[in-house]
């Protein structure tokens, strides 16, 4: 009789233990969702379309072999267009930003690149589109085509630059600079490339084209700062209302004037651009500014 009672007690204890383990297992499964159903963190929207403008990205953090000096200025073939002139930052061992310079009428991409290199210093890549006629030899005086033509040329030249220099080009927005006719055409070019440029320079041109609606459009697409470059007092007076439009749109603006005579982008006005350049790029670390 005693053996029967012991066996019965043992059976009850085992059953109770089994129920406890089952309850524990059910509780654990309910508390931990299946891995296949667990939500994962969503990637940042359009992350692949929004490259960082800081040099801490993988592309610019890598130390590259020094970029060889190719004589200062390089004629670069551009599909469907005349040859652009490029001024690479000789000796660069990291990725550098891009400045696109649109030249005046009856001058050349080479001349524009030479003077903008003096103005911008050694840091950026300078990309100077050829203009029209496209068959004119490199260095010959040319002009610029329509806004649509120039937009096509700029895009094609950027594609060629990225193919040629690849890892030496920093991600982030470009700087667009235009002087005289180049400034007038740059108004429309920037309207087409507004989301790709955060800094811009207009010199001795584009006065009437920089309307309030155009300037607001730039601001809406991320333009942060504009430099209005003058060689003459008359230019200063023409840019004064333009500067007010930029200010009203929340874009930082500065008029920098050589206060001299003449019109071409050379001599003292290039020095004026050089002196104002640090203001334009002061908080862009790609140019050596403080973020």
Task: Judge whether 233 lies within some domain.
Answer: yes
Task: Judge whether 3 lies within some domain.
Answer: no
Summary mean pLDDT of the chain: 84
Task: Judge whether 49 lies within some domain.
Answer: no
Task: Judge whether 256 lies within some domain.
Answer: yes
The string of pLDDT tens digits covering residues 209-232 is 999 999 999 999 999 999 999 999
The pLDDT value given to residue 290: 75
Higher pLDDT among residues 125 and 32, named by residue: 125
pLDDT at 271 over 50: yes
The pLDDT value given to residue 46: 22
Residue-number span of the structural domain to which 261 is assigned: 67-287
Beta bridge partners of 237: none
Task: Judge whether 44 lies within some domain.
Answer: no
The pLDDT value given to residue 61: 57
Closest CA to 85 of 68, 67, 103, 104: 103
The string of pLDDT tens digits covering residues 18-35 is 344 333 333 333 333 333
**CATH number, position 202:** 3.40.50.1820
Task: Judge whether 56 lies within some domain.
Answer: no
State both tokens at 261.
Answer: 């005579």
The pLDDT value given to residue 139: 85
The pLDDT value given to residue 291: 74
Buried b (16+ CB within 10 A) or exposed e, 7-46: eeeeeeeeeeeeeeeeeeeeeeeeeeeeeeeeeeeeeeee
Task: Judge whether 104 lies within some domain.
Answer: yes
What crossing angle do the helices spanning 181-192 and 212-220 adopt, rounded to 10°? 50
Q: How many domains does the chain have?
A: 1
Portion of the chain with pLDDT greater than 70, in percent: 79
The string of pLDDT tens digits covering residues 132-190 is 999 999 889 999 999 999 999 999 999 999 999 999 999 999 999 999 999 999 999 99
Least confident range from 30-44, 101-115, 268-282: namely 30-44
The string of pLDDT tens digits covering residues 56-77 is 343 445 799 999 877 799 999 9
- Give the 3-state DSSP-derived string for 231-288, with helices as H, strands as E and coil as C: CCHHHHHHHHHHHHHHHHCCCEEEEEECCCCCCCCCCHHHHHHHHHHHHHCCCCHHHC
pLDDT at 111 over 50: yes
pLDDT at 45 over 60: no
Portion of the chain with pLDDT greater than 90, in percent: 74
Cis status of the peptide bond prior to 133, with omega within 30 of 0? yes
Task: Judge whether 15 lies within some domain.
Answer: no
């Amino acid at each position: 009789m005693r053996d029967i009672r012991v066996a019965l007690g043992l059976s009850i204890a085992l059953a109770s233990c089994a129920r406890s383990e089952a309850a524990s297992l059910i509780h654990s499964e309910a508390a931990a969702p299946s891995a296949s159903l667990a939500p994962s963190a969503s990637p940042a929207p359009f992350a692949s379309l929004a490259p960082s403008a800081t040099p801490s990205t993988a592309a610019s953090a890598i130390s590259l072999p020094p970029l060889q000096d190719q004589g200062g200025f390089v004629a670069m073939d551009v599909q469907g267009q005349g040859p652009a002139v490029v001024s690479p930052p000789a000796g660069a061992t990291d990725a550098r930003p891009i400045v696109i310079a649109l030249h005046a009428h009856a001058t050349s991409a080479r001349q524009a690149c030479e003077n903008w290199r003096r103005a911008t210093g050694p840091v950026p890549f300078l990309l100077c589109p050829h203009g029209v006629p496209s068959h004119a030899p490199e260095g010959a005086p040319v002009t610029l085509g329509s806004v649509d033509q120039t937009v096509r040329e700029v895009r094609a030249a950027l594609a060629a630059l990225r193919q040629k220099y690849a890892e030496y080009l920093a991600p982030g927005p470009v700087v667009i600079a235009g002087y005289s006719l180049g400034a007038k055409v740059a108004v429309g070019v920037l309207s087409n490339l507004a989301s790709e440029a955060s800094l811009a320079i207009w010199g001795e041109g584009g006065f009437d084209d920089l309307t309030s609606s155009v300037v607001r459009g730039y601001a809406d697409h991320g333009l942060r700062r504009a430099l209005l470059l003058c060689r003459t007092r008359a230019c200063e007076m023409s840019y004064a209302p333009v500067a007010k439009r930029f200010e009203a749109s929340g874009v930082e603006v500065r008029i920098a004037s050589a206060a001299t005579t003449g019109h071409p982008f050379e001599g003292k006005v290039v020095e004026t651009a050089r002196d104002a350049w640090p203001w334009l790029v002061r908080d862009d670390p790609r140019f050596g500014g403080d973020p």
